[in-house]
């Protein structure tokens, strides 16, 4: 039976990338995406995929990455796809238009996207009006926060985000790694990052907000920068890392005409570098923090490699553009098979196992 998304994709790809995405969000709000789901989407998650992190239960480790549902308009709808959690944003204190259009480009031959969006969003308050308080809500929702482009006090913007979003989020993401806001990545430097995170943790604690705070980092860091970030997050009691954001690097093997566009690259070409960074940060943090792996995941084997490299959770975004919403249930089914093949009884048992010697059974399977 032909994939129903293949026809939809041909039609969407006749439009520029950003209008096509807007059309997709409109279709999700109307429920038209139901026709693109496979028969497994409604099945309850297998117990082997469940884990508990930050006091929250994740029925499966596959989440929707930030950027897809910037303004929290379709998080209810995409739950039909089978996600274990959804992350909205990036959201800033005040609404902003972002960078000039066109600012999203498909690299079809590479199954990749380049974007230079620049934190375009309707503002944090607008999004929060569509997200009920977390108490009693079954859906695990992360809220990704950033600073306004023209902010004179970036730390104050993040402080505002922490205080306003804490009641609504199951976890908060401090995004200092987008390449599309001038000067933002400077906040990853040791001194600036330590000052920012120390201030945000103090604000959270003074407000008696029990909200996990995660840091999202760039894939373009040096080894020294990785060591600095690991030290800073451990000393400031940060609850986890998201690895990674989009990259400004361009590999020589990119085949698409849009490969020269400015902005952050996501999709298949990002998989190797983001997974290598994930493994490095798992080692530097000694496995003490839950990590979320994102970047280039387009199937179950990719997700499994992220998990074995150290990720407790995995996010996807660009793969949805090229494969459609049914990929969520496909990844979950494939993960169950891979875990059972290697003798794991749960996702938690598999996290970080690429750093450990293989068992006799796993060695035989690999052969």
**Predicted confidence (pLDDT) at residue 361 exceeds the cutoff of 60:** no
Domain annotation for the chain: domains and CATH numbers: 4-366 (3.20.20.70)
pLDDT of residue 1: 57
pLDDT in tens, 155-184: 999 999 999 999 999 999 999 999 999 899
pLDDT in tens, 218-276: 999 999 999 999 999 999 999 999 999 999 999 889 999 999 999 999 999 999 999 99
What whole-number distance in Å separates Cα of residue 165 and Cα of residue 229?
24
**Predicted confidence (pLDDT) at residue 359 exceeds the cutoff of 80:** no
**Predicted confidence (pLDDT) at residue 129 exceeds the cutoff of 70:** yes
Token code pair at residue 81: 């796809």
What whole-number distance in Å separates Cα of residue 355 and Cα of residue 367?
19
Strand order of the β-sheet with 104-107 is: 104-107, 112-115, 264-267
Q: What's the rounded mean pLDDT across residues 280-290?
A: 96
Question: By the 8 A CB rule, do 264 and 115 touch?
Answer: yes
What whole-number distance in Å separates Cα of residue 357 and Cα of residue 366?
13
178 annotated active-site: yes
**Beta-carbon neighbour count of residue 342 at 10 Å?**
18
pLDDT in tens, 116-126: 999 999 999 99
- Provide the CA 278 distance to its chain's centre, in angstroms: 13
Q: What's the rounded mean pLDDT across residues 19-35?
A: 95
User: Annotated catalytic residue: which of 178, 274, 298, 312?
Assistant: 178
Query: In a 10 Å sphere around its CB, with 0-12 CB exposed, 13-18 middle and 19+ buried, how is residue 121 labelled?
Result: buried
pLDDT of residue 4: 86
pLDDT of residue 364: 47
Q: Which of 119, 153, 118, 113 is nearest to 16 (CA)?
A: 113
Task: Report whether the peptide linkage leading into residue 114 is cis, meaning its omega lies within 30 degrees of zero.
Answer: no
């Amino acid at each position: 039976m032909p994939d129903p998304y293949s026809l939809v994709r041909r039609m969407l790809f006749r439009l520029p990338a950003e209008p096509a995405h807007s059309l997709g969000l409109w279709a999700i709000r109307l429920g038209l995406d139901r026709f693109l789901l496979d028969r497994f989407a409604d099945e309850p998650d297998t117990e082997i995929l469940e884990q508990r992190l930050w006091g929250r239960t994740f029925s499966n480790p596959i989440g929707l990455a930030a950027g897809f549902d910037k303004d929290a308009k379709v998080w209810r709808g995409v739950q039909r796809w089978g996600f274990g959690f959804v992350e909205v944003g990036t959201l800033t204190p005040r609404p902003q238009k972002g960078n000039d259009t066109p600012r999203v480009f498909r690299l079809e031959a590479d199954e990749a996207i380049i974007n230079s969006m620049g934190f375009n969003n309707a503002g944090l308050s607008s999004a929060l009006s569509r997200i009920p308080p977390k108490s009693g809500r079954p859906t695990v929702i992360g809220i990704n926060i950033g600073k306004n482009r023209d902010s004179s006090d970036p730390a104050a913007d993040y402080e505002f985000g922490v205080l306003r979003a804490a009641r609504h989020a199951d976890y908060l993401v401090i995004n200092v790694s987008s390449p599309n806001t001038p000067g933002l990545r400077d906040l990853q430097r040791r001194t600036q990052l330590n000052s920012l995170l120390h201030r945000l943790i103090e604000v959270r604690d003074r407000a008696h907000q029990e909200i996990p705070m995660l840091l999202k980092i760039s894939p373009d860091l040096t080894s020294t920068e990785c060591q600095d970030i690991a030290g800073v997050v451990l000393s400031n009691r940060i609850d986890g890392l998201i690895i990674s954001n989009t990259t400004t690097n361009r590999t020589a093997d990119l085949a698409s005409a849009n490969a020269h566009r400015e902005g952050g690259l996501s999709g298949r070409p990002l998989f190797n570098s983001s997974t290598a960074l994930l493994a490095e940060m798992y080692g530097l943090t000694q496995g003490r923090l839950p990590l979320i792996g994102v970047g280039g995941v387009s199937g179950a084997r990719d997700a499994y490699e992220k998990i074995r490299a150290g990720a407790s959770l995995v996010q996807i975004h660009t793969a949805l553009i090229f494969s459609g919403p049914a990929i969520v249930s496909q990844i979950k089914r494939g993960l169950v098979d891979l875990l059972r093949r290697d003798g794991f009884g749960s996702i938690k048992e598999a996290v970080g196992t690429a750093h450990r010697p293989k068992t006799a059974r796993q060695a035989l399977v690999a052969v």
